[in-house]
Homo-oligomer: A and B are copies of this chain.
């Protein structure tokens, strides 16, 4: 933060108890991690027990829009004025970190954990923005080349909003870290890069147009 980067405030629950050097609250880093994917894991409490559901999200400025399609339970909780306490976690794996000892194996990763209270989006104009953002988070530029949602669809779209406020990132981007005493062991140590790739798009039978630019960019 000495370089003047904008950071989110630290709180006890965004301050790790271990591997403190892997944590950051820097806004640019957090936004970049969020913008690298569309999949999040949404956690909430139901009847006193934790529930974690996968779903898609979009970042718009300092706000996350989270799709409620994986179940209506969290959405019901977010409908009232009180909102729903949630934890939204986004994780990207960059490499397997393989060491000569079983114990020192690790993963190179980037993750973001956001805590806060989610509220259901009910305003049609905001819903429209959120739905476009969800489409564009998955495939940048796509919302301009689909039929926008109509009023009936917007009313059936379940989206919650979470303002980014209490949020941190953790990252590991480092080599294998064996104990000195293990370095001469005759085992293979190093990194195995991991990445997510898109295959060749498969058009539906109803598709009569050529592959649009927003999909050519996605698949390289």
Binding site for B on A (CB under 8 A): 13, 16-18, 39, 41-46, 48-54, 56, 69-73, 85-89, 91, 93, 96, 98-103, 105-107, 109, 111, 113, 115, 131-132, 134-135, 138-139, 142-143, 145-149, 153, 156-157, 170, 175-176, 178, 182-204, 206-212, 215, 218-219
Contacts and interface: CB of A to CB of B under 8 A. Distances in A.
Given A41-B91, A199-B195, A113 B52 contact: yes
B199 A87 contact: no
A56 B111 CA distance: 13
Given A53-B89, A71-B18, A146-B100, A138 B45 contact: no
A132 B182 CA distance: 18
A197 B199 contact: no
Number of copies: 2
Nearest to A218: B192
B209 A187 contact: yes
Nearest to A94: B199
A121 to B, nearest CB: 15
Contacts of A176: 204
Contacts of A103: 131, 149, 153, 156-157
A119 to B, nearest CB: 16
Contacts of A199: 192-195
Given A178-B206, A192-B218, 9 more contacts: A41-B89, A43-B52, A50-B85, A54-B109, A98-B146, A103-B157, A188-B201, A188-B210, A189-B207
